[in-house]
Structure 1
Amino acid sequence: MQAQHITPAIALTIAGSDSGGGAGIQADLRAFMAFRVHGCSALTCVTAQNTCGVTRVDPIPPAGLEAQLQAVKNDLPVDALKTGMLLNRELIQTTAELLRHWSIPKVIDPVMVSRTGAVLLEDDAIAALRDDLLPLATLLTPNRHEARLLSGHELNDDSDIEAAAAAIHAQGPAAVLIKSGSERSLGGRDLLFNGQPHWLEGPWVDTPHTHGTGCTLSAAITAGLALGQDLDVAMTAAREYVKQGLKQALAIGQGQGPICHWAAIRSISDSD
């Protein structure tokens, strides 16, 4: 039998590992696959975590991260990339140095603070993130805690969120998407700012199992960009994918379970 060769779109994730499988590299690669995009990865750190939380974080040496990135870049025609947890200044600067020479769409998920408020970035890394990485972003995807840190604005209402987005946009990213995350008061609304504010409406999905939502959204947008979609098309598809994942979230473990990365695939399959 003659093999049928496929040449898919390729996306790269530069992020940390989640041993519980709900977020990080694991979530990114599953999201890429859901969009039929081949996923490559460069590991920045290894976390010991489960549905109850993170108990340990071990960074990869910067030389190890650089070697991973060069190995991918030297062989595989990556169409789009995303970053996730970069942890410290050295890893951010190593990542930024390569990304400056890579003319493809870049989705920067500034993993600084979790949706529950837990700090995920070392103190001296925030300046490096702002100075070295933000100006390279095609799209920056902060949650509300991260948007507050990056902008210096308190986010109490819609006008505050718009002001924060404008302040972050002025730091260099081509577009900023402030995610509603677990803020029930926002009702599933996200704010896109690309010079003008655009509120993206969406239904609130009521579930306690939302681990990996932010990683998955940025990965799904990256997959769409890798496929050649315009940013607005990629965001619309990604937000729908996350919504379906939340509707069929996985009640596993003793804490906050992850969203379901095969929910959209299963719904398509079930309709056949």
Structure 2
Amino acid sequence: MASCGFLLMLLTITGIVCALSEAAITCGIPQISPRSDMSRVKGGNDAVAGSWPWQVRLGVRQANGQVMWNCGGSILTEKYVVTAAHCLVGGINAEYMIRAGDHDQTRIEAAQVDHAVLRIGQHPNYAGQSGNFRNDIAILRLATNLTFKAQISPVCLPISKNDIPHGTTCMVTGWGKSGPTGTSYKSVLQQGRVQIIGRQQCAAQYWGNMVTSNVQVCAGTPAGTVDACSGDSGGPLVCQDPTSRR
């Protein structure tokens, strides 16, 4: 997001269709177990390498050939990644890349792979910051398929129209800033435990009229000590199903 503060995740499936049959069997279950003492992204704890296998980095290639990595994303299938529409800083026709299997940005790792983005499906009703980030979602079609392995596998999408109950514990991950303006981005993937906040409470205490009907989910902690921040945008907010454990 543009600045730190109480985490506002904007989620909608309406108007975006993606075939998920490829991911139906393997989604949502890391082969490498996350550490149990999960803490926070802002001020964060390092994640175990490979333990959030659906997490990707999103970047745009510059005129000098270098990729500017500015956001996160989540693997849906071998072909598709979901991210935030506001992460498309170079415009629809820019040359975007995703990096999967990454953990430490300071070194080349055996599991990491880069894939070019072939097409972008931005939500048709996304209105940008002036529209309070409503429908802030985009689907990326990769030019070449991902190969799933321990460090690269898909997340599960929630069942359409299922609301996540207030107080549910969920996780956010990313390489974004660990604090307010002036702090640096993290080189190692960070993880943080947050709670779902009911829309009425979220609107009243934190985000006002930015919280609209059923297209948004608020999550964080009342004290604001656990959060996503600049650079984490587009990345996953995941909640474990108590029955399937996905």
Q: Smaller-chain TM-score range? A: under 0.3
Which structure dedicates a bigger proportion of its chain to helix?
A: 1
Which structure dedicates a bigger proportion of its chain to strand?
A: 2
> Comparing both chains, which one has the higher relative contact order based on Cα–Cα distances under 8 Å and sequence gaps of 6 or more?
2
Task: Name the larger-Rg structure.
Answer: 1
